[in-house]
Structure 1
Amino acid sequence: MDASTPSTSASKDTSSTTSTYDVVIVGGAMAGATLALAIEHYTQAGLSVAVVEAAIPDNAHPGYDARSIALSYGSCDLLERIGIWHILSPFATSIKNIHVSDQGHFGLTEMHADKEGLPFLGNVIELADAGRVFHRALEDAKRVTLFCPAMVSTIDRTQEGVTLTLNDGQTLHTKLLVAADGATSSCCDMAGIERHAHDFQQVALIANITTTLPHQGRAFERFTASGPLALLPMSEGRSSLVWCVPPEDAPDLLALSDHAFLAALQRAFGWRLGHLLHVGKRNMYPLILRQSNTLISHRVAVVGNAAQTLHPIAGQGFNLGLRDVVSLAEEITTAFKRNQDCGDISTLLRYQRRRTPDRDNTVAMTSGLVHGFSNTSAPLALGRNLGLASMSVFQGLKAPLLQRAMGLVER
């Protein structure tokens, strides 16, 4: 197969063949798909890219299930720069305001797009919609070949390149392998990239909620004694719920009738959206910080959830991963324009140097918020509520939180 063959996602010839690509990306959900499209855009299809994805994007796909994702203002801007936002925006619901409060305490702060002179602070997109959009964009790309469904069986590295064997017997050869295959990345395992984990001792309950009062583009982050609770604006007047609770409480909440579940949620959230009327299908996910010990190895780069999987507090996970993706695409493009090897260690080191400060700061911020707002000690509760109240009065104090919430950070 020639590396410039148009992308396909149908079943492939299972006879043993070897195809050569400039970049092979393992994982075709949002991080991997965005990277492939960013490389295509920045290099004007000057590099050949293969994307290996195990699952066809539908509601059963682990990267494109019934959840929603909050894209910060900065992330929407990055997606616009690489020519993707216009195909995603029809499925987006704008976040106009963000309301942050601490249950049972006086502290709260609000952020408003119009006060910042912006059209929105972010956007919410259902992952199922994103999956269909990205899958179609990959199929339409000139020099992206999509192997789906397909899995990587082995990875062999030499000084000059990487050879991957797929589960159907095909082999792919490349100068650069990118691991974008999620929190439990088998690609990282095969490449010997170690990860460490921290269990937050919380479970996220996910569901879509309908309320009597229209959300009007308002997003809510509420800190409760059991963990943070967020409601994000969605299409059709719905709100996307992420409710973090102790693991021992989650099964009982899932087992409640819809009426009883909504009553419990009403007690935790309050009445800012009026009466909570309906709840959709409920799911739960354990919340564990997983972080790779490095972003690079010999001819390998790591991006997205394969690099770090964050607590959903403040909605930083995909937004941080997107900054990984675009930064790596830029460094690959720089090497391409200089007629250099895109998998060379100098390219990978530039990527790692750029991403380490933002990565470390975002991980520290999200983990600090989880532990700080989960602590019920009176002095700490007073301190954090004074902080929230002060941010409502002094705009300068709010600026760092607002900038990170909007994704306007150096990368």
Structure 2
Amino acid sequence: MKQFDVVIAGGAMAGMTLALALNQSSHGRLSIAVVEPYQTNHQAHPGFDSRSIALSYGTVNILKQLSLWNEIQDVATPIHHIHVSDRSHLGMTDISSDEVATDALGYVVELADVGRIYDELVAQCGNITLFCPQSVNQVTRHIDRVTISLESGEVIQGKLLVAADGAISTCCQQIGLTMSEHDFFQVAVIANVSIDQAHNHRAFERFTDQGPIALLPMSDQRMSLVWCLRPAQAERVLQLEDNAFIDELQQAFGWRLGRFTQVGVRASYPLLLRYREQNVSHRFAIVGNAAQTLHPIAGQGFNLGIRDVVSLAEEVSQSLTDPGSYTVLRRFKQRREEDRRSTIELTSSLVHLFSNDYLSLQIGRNVGLAMMDNIAVLKQPLLQRTLGLVVR
């Protein structure tokens, strides 16, 4: 039976970042196993598919601390300006890197690129063992260790098991940790789109009565689109021919980026808040989407997950002899409580505030956006969250 200090279930963004963070923070002294069901062919891997994500300024600083940013920076597109507006109304606000004296507010990366980079980095770490394609079948906890039976019949053990295996976490189900779920009754339609003018590293979040439209700058004058719609509308839009899809997107978003000229392969997923209040148990911790899956509004979900990951790695580095001890897990739980609660409340409130057409809320949110654009002190909380500069 193979023995490890830490076993990570899930080898997508959260799991692989954690493995590399643990390796870096322990200076290679921890033995780490990563159990991942999908082959690391990133065209097929659901954790490293064609989607893009926005890394906040704070997340980039974390990746720098973990010595991961140099490799990722080469495939990242900087965001210099964020424009937030409410469709058909006057309320809007702008955030630029100049006003916060940073090189960029954040960066956009394609998940497939990050997956390839992580593969190369993990291959260089002799203390990280990848079990792939493998999945967790059964979890048995003991006083000083966890036994994990894999689907192949192989059995491994660790002092700590970390669930990074997505919102519908097999490990959490095995442990018996309950999950709360709230349906926003929206579907995210995602695609890459091309435009006929330079995006100039601008990102957009445009609120409509259906839900927000987010557009993030990418290489080659492409934009990464996340278009939140009610389920019936999303189903209809997904069936449109490319030209009809572009026309409808143009009408919904407007002309701030000029004309949309091309759309790539489209995909969709339902938008739910999934949240496990208990993020630790005996010799067990949860990070990433297994701990919380958020609405993509304001781009908070992945950045919150990275703060989970690095916080756990820091706590484990204080107790390398027993990374799954009660003391380590208690400290991790306590330091993550406020950030998790605040971020979940923020994203859920924004969805309910901006995804409807009630007159009273229209007036309130547009006054709020206008005031933020003109009064610096009101803009500060938005800036802090946008930049990911929060206490963890």
**TM-score above 0.5:** yes
Shift of 1:287: 0.5
Distance in 1 between residues matched to 2:133 and 2:116, nearest whole Å: 15
Shift of 1:352: 0.5
Shift of 1:363: 0.3
Corresponding position: 1:244 with 2:225: no
Match of 2:113 among 119, 122, 129: 129
| TM-score, length basis structure 1 | 0.94
Match of 2:86 among 102, 108, 130: 102
Q: Give the 5 Å matches for 1:58-97.
A: 58-97=42-81
Gaps of 5+ in 1: 1-17
Over the residues paired in the alignment, what is the CA RMSD in angstroms? Answer: 0.8
Match of 1:364 in 2: 345
Number of equivalenced pairs: 391
Is the CA contact (8 Å cut-off) linking 2:192 and 2:264 kept in structure 1? Answer: yes
Point out the more displaced range, 140-149 or 35-44: 140-149
Match of 1:41 in 2: 24
| TM-score, length basis structure 2 | 0.99
Match of 1:259 in 2: 243
Q: Which amino acid aligns with 1:217?
A: H
Is the CA contact (8 Å cut-off) linking 2:59 and 2:388 kept in structure 1? Answer: yes
Match of 1:203 among 171, 187, 192: 187
- For residues 103-152 of structure 1, the C-alpha deviation after alignment (integer angstroms, 9 at most, x for no partner) is 01110000000221100000000111111111221111131111111111
Shift of 1:380: 1.2
Shift of 1:293: 2.8
- For residues 199-223 of structure 1, the C-alpha deviation after alignment (integer angstroms, 9 at most, x for no partner) is 1000000011111111110000000
Distance in 2 between residues matched to 1:188 and 1:136, nearest whole Å: 29
Is the CA contact (8 Å cut-off) linking 2:210 and 2:356 kept in structure 1? Answer: no
Match of 1:335 among 304, 314, 319: 319
2:318 counterpart SS class: helix
Distance in 2 between residues matched to 1:384 and 1:160, nearest whole Å: 52
Match of 2:295 in 1: 311
1:25 counterpart SS class: strand
Corresponding position: 1:29 with 2:4: no
- For residues 200-250 of structure 1, the C-alpha deviation after alignment (integer angstroms, 9 at most, x for no partner) is 000000011111111110000000011000000001110000000000111
Distance in 2 between residues matched to 1:403 and 1:141, nearest whole Å: 35
- For residues 141-176 of structure 1, the C-alpha deviation after alignment (integer angstroms, 9 at most, x for no partner) is 131111111111111111111000112222111110
Shift of 1:28: 0.6
Q: Which amino acid aligns with 1:321?
A: G
Match of 1:300 in 2: 284
Is the CA contact (8 Å cut-off) linking 2:208 and 2:356 kept in structure 1? Answer: no
Distance in 2 between residues matched to 1:402 and 1:214, nearest whole Å: 25
Q: Give the 5 Å matches for 1:379-398.
A: 379-398=360-379
Match of 1:279 among 263, 271, 277: 263
Q: Which amino acid aligns with 1:21?
A: F
Distance in 2 between residues matched to 1:189 and 1:237, nearest whole Å: 43
Q: Which amino acid aligns with 1:367?
A: S
Distance in 1 between residues matched to 2:363 and 2:2, nearest whole Å: 61
Corresponding position: 1:54 with 2:37: yes
Distance in 2 between residues matched to 1:119 and 1:73, nearest whole Å: 9
Is the CA contact (8 Å cut-off) linking 2:35 and 2:131 kept in structure 1? Answer: yes
Distance in 2 between residues matched to 1:213 and 1:197, nearest whole Å: 41
Q: Which amino acid aligns with 2:159?
A: K
Which portions of structure 1, spanning 4 or more consecutive aligned residues, are displaced by more than 6 angstroms?
Answer: none
Distance in 1 between residues matched to 2:384 and 2:50, nearest whole Å: 28
Q: Which amino acid aligns with 1:314?
A: A
- For residues 269-318 of structure 1, the C-alpha deviation after alignment (integer angstroms, 9 at most, x for no partner) is 00001011111111111001111131001100000000000000001111
| Identity across the alignment (%) | 52
Match of 2:356 among 358, 375, 379: 375
Is the CA contact (8 Å cut-off) linking 1:139 and 1:146 kept in structure 2? Answer: no
Is the CA contact (8 Å cut-off) linking 2:304 and 2:340 kept in structure 1? Answer: yes
Is the CA contact (8 Å cut-off) linking 1:98 and 1:110 kept in structure 2? Answer: yes
Distance in 1 between residues matched to 2:198 and 2:132, nearest whole Å: 40
Is the CA contact (8 Å cut-off) linking 1:163 and 1:173 kept in structure 2? Answer: yes
- For residues 290-349 of structure 1, the C-alpha deviation after alignment (integer angstroms, 9 at most, x for no partner) is 11131001100000000000000001111000000000000000112xx4x211111101
Corresponding position: 1:233 with 2:231: no
